[in-house]
Chain A
Amino acid sequence: MEKTEILASMNKIWRDELDNEAITITESSTANDIEEWDSLSNIQLVVATEKLFKIRFNSAEIAQFKNVGEMIDCIKAKIG
């Protein structure tokens, strides 16, 4: 799966989970850029992402993600 496809799927998750159709995420997006994305909703986004791609991040990986791009790299490495 290409990075752009992963990003498009993640964008849908972000819109659904954060209940805002206007959200568009890029690889450089962080929680600071999106109002609804906070320390509470963060884990919901992670869980929904894990479910969609049928993968599992470990705790250290989740704690280290600095932006959407790093998450995509991690997903790509896991799904091959």
Chain B
Amino acid sequence: MLFNSINFLIFFPVVVAIYFLLPHRIRWLWLLGMSCVFYMAFVPVYIFILGFTIVIDYFAGILIEKFTGKPRKLMLLVSLCANIGVLAVFKYYNFITENINQIFSSFRYPNEIPLLDMLLPIGLSFHTFQAMSYIIEVYRGNQNAEKHFGIYALYVMFFPQLVAGPIERPQNLLPQFKEKKYFEADNVLSGLQQMLWGFFKKVVIADRLALYVDSVFINHTEYGALNLSIAALFFTLQIYADFSGYSDIALGTARILGFNLMVNFDRPLISKSITEFWRRWHISLSSWFNDYLFQPLMISTRNWAMAGAGFSLLFTFFLAGLWHGAGWTFIIYGIIHGSALTYEFYTRKWRKRWSKKINASVYNSVSILLTFCFVSMALIFFRAPSVEIAFEIIVQIFHSTKAIIFSWQVGSGELTFNAFSWLVIIISLPILFIAEKYMDVKTFHPANFKNCNVYFGILLLTLILTCGIFNQTSFIYFQF
């Protein structure tokens, strides 16, 4: 079920109303049942995949806690293999097979390994990573194994964050299912406000920018350097509005029910470096990779002198790229970021000294601009259908023979990005940046609620109803 669908508009109030009417001891069952309904609105049969990993991880968690030594390690491996195995089969099998077949055919080997014909289970990369976080934390002794099967299943399936995160940690989420929740006006108001803010980002900004971005990326050879550059910059804004908008709706939804999910975005587009960008962008994923992959790699390669950090960064970001999707475009996206972080790591002292010689506001402004442009360049690989096309677009931006050709209006038919679209974007982008700079829209905590007064809510609602695009476009990150 999509957050931006009529179904959800009916589903959610019903879930909330009955949740608070039920006695505390059976509320978990209601939330679990409704999470199943939410998930099964996509492809019902895939619930069995979730069930398979939930059962394995539930028992693995208990056994890890019980055992010591080798059996303990073995249970960790069994659980990790089950989770990574499910990912490998459903997400990466075809990609790996295609590449193997390509190698075979270059050696003129006649047989081909057959591909699987199936749809990627929605949210697979998110809930398997959340399940692995639980298992690793239990193994490290930071979390007790959950004995209540229903509560553990709910930890993996909690519908506000099931299909696109935030990828929660057991320490934050599991105890919340056991707390008694009360219907609190502050939570409901701030939750609704954050949902509204998320919908504004999604249907007013992201889906509007998508009209421009989609038109240009589909027919990239038709456009000159200026249109292509704008499309690349717009895609950065689009993906931010889309994904952070989703996160805002997820956090708001959970808060109305009385749950606090982790903050996933902290104004990443004003980062002054790529290192800072990854501290602010998709925080639940970057901190997952930091805690469970990057830090252990750094520790085990710490005696490789300076090479250890570079290797750890590149390897981590190679996998973080691959996490997004089974394709070379995502791998290159990851490696571009890994390389930038490596460069920043090795030059950090030099850059710090340099920054002291330059006027701070000039240095900061240039840093923000360069970081934004770099992120946009890397995102061309993320958005382009193939590596070849991504390179073509970049070459066209710098060496276009149509450099002067520019059209204000792009696309055709209903999907035209026209003068009205420009107006919507020119009005809504300043609202986005100014609101996120001065208001605590990051947390929307009840105590800060007076900042986001009712007039702001009315303004957002008006913009959503008059300028929003209601074609129920899926969120970009749902495909992962």
Contact = CB atoms under 8 A, between A and B. Distances in A.
B93 to A, nearest CB: 33
A63 interface: yes
Nearest to A61: B299
Given A19-B352, A40-B309, A63-B295, A47 B302 contact: yes
A40 to B, nearest CB: 6
Contacts of B348: 19
A interface, size bucket: 10 to 19
B11 interface: no
A41 to B, nearest CB: 8
B339 to A, nearest CB: 15
Given A59-B296, A63-B140, A43 B352 contact: no
A39 interface: yes
A13 interface: no
B290 A43 contact: no
B298 interface: yes
A62 B299 contact: yes
Interface string A24-59: 000000000000001110110011000000000001
Given A43-B309, A63-B140, A19 B349 contact: yes
Contacts of A38: 275
B133 to A, nearest CB: 15
A42 B349 CA distance: 15
Of B140, B299, B302, B345, the most chain A CB neighbours within 10 A belong to B299
Interface string B319-358: 0000000000000000000000000010011001000000
Contacts of A63: 140, 295-296, 299
Contact of B345 (A19, A40, A47): A40
Contacts of B453: none
A47 B300 contact: no
Contact of A43 (B140, B275, B298, B349): B298
Given A39-B290, A40-B275, A59 B349 contact: no
B303 interface: yes
Given A19-B349, A43-B308, A59 B294 contact: no
Nearest to A60: B140
A46 B308 CA distance: 13
A54 B348 CA distance: 27
Contacts of B296: 59, 63
Contacts of A42: 295, 298
Contacts of A47: 302-303
A38 B295 CA distance: 11
Contacts of B275: 38, 40
Given A40-B275, A43-B309, A59 B300 contact: yes
Contacts of A46: 299, 302
Contacts of B352: 19
Contacts of A39: 290, 294-295, 298
Most B C-beta atoms less than 10 A away, residue of A39, A47, A62 = A39
Nearest to A43: B298
Contacts of A62: 299
A76 B367 CA distance: 43
Given A19-B352, A63-B140, A43 B299 contact: yes
A6 B148 CA distance: 46
17 contacts: A19-B348, A19-B349, A19-B352, A38-B275, A39-B290, A39-B294, A39-B295, A40-B309, A40-B345, A42-B295, A43-B298, A43-B299, A43-B302, A43-B309, A46-B299, A46-B302, A63-B295
Given A63-B295, A63-B296, 10 more contacts: A19-B348, A19-B352, A39-B298, A40-B309, A42-B295, A42-B298, A43-B302, A43-B308, A43-B309, A63-B299
